[in-house]
Amino acid sequence: MKKRFFVLSAILAVAVWLSSPAAAQMGLPAPNPDDAKLLAGNRWVEEVRSRGVLRVGFDIFRPWAMKAKAGNYVGFEIQVAEALAADMGVKAEFVPTNWDGIIPALLTDNFDIIIASMGITPERSLKVAFTEPYEYSGMAIAASLLTAPGLSSLEDFNKKEINVVVKSGTTAAQAAFELLPNAAIVELDDEGLTAQELRSGRAQVLIASAPYPAELALQNPGEIYVPIPGTLTNEPVGMALRPQDRDALPALNAWIAARFASRWLKTTWSYWFETLDWEPLLK
């Protein structure tokens, strides 16, 4: 009963604050005592609070996390991490990490938590402790008008002469191997490099988290198109902790539930995924 009271208090507090002018201007929640109660009394939480910093491991994925022209990081996951840190009463410290090494870096205590559009998969669940999903991701496809015009189905691309470029170690790579087993899958460490390969025509296909493929097509008319509308997959995205920190999951799950209930997560997602109002931050 007490836990339910805390969750309801947090939901009401978030809803009231989100209606204020300050929230509209900043786009971030203000720390308040009720939200803090959701995260109180846990060893992992108290360790973070005693340090005064929540160390967040992430990698660059547009529009989940990006480097702004001012030198700071922006994006949906950045805002989620900042909101979580604010409700814990600490600052967020972002630790950019290559995707291939992000789970090993968490396990060796390079940071406290992964908030990095990480899809919850059985393989990853054997290595880390996932929260409940705070969002869902889908893989989408873009193709080269220079070297693969007019194709419109997975069967069209599932051929040995087709080069499919993906970011290595991601569920986009996993989807490519599963959906296009006959194609040549090219894995690169940087998302920007995958786009370069597609623009040049060296790769005929790019698979990545939506809405990135559609954005590439809009930004490169006459070079890139979207052969299959929508997404090819739908996968839950969770925050990841070290296995020994799994006792913090109930507190984090309660926080996620409160943010869903207040529609903060939906509103924030819509800003980053359904508009390009944030693009001036990058240029």
Half-sphere exposure of 27 (CA within 13 A, CB side): 18
Given phi > 0 = left and psi -120 to 50 = alpha, else beta, which region is 250? alpha
- Domain segments of the chain as ranges: 2-136+237-281, 139-225
Integer-rounded Cα Rg, in Å, for the chain is 20
Instruction: Detail the DSSP E strand segments found in 37-90.
Output: 53-58, 66-67, 73-74
- Supply the pTM of this predicted model: 0.75
Helix (H) or strand (E) holding 169, with range, is none
Taking only the tens place, the pLDDT of each residue in 206-249 is: 999 988 999 999 889 999 999 998 888 888 999 999 999 999 99
* Distance between CA atoms of residues 281 and 283, nearest Å: 6
Taking only the tens place, the pLDDT of each residue in 125-168 is: 999 999 999 999 889 999 999 999 999 999 999 999 999 999 99
* CATH match for 139-225 among 3.90.1150.10, 3.40.50.300, 3.40.190.10, 1.10.3470.10: 3.40.190.10
User: Topology of 2-136+237-281 in CATH?
Assistant: D-Maltodextrin-Binding Protein; domain 2 (3.40.190)
pLDDT of residue 9: 36
Q: Do 2-136+237-281 and 139-225 have matching folds? A: yes
Taking only the tens place, the pLDDT of each residue in 191-214 is: 889 999 999 999 999 999 988 999
* 47 and 58 Cβ atoms separated by less than 8 Å: no
Look at residue 168 and give its three-state secondary structure.
Answer: coil
* Distance between CA atoms of residues 141 and 172, nearest Å: 10
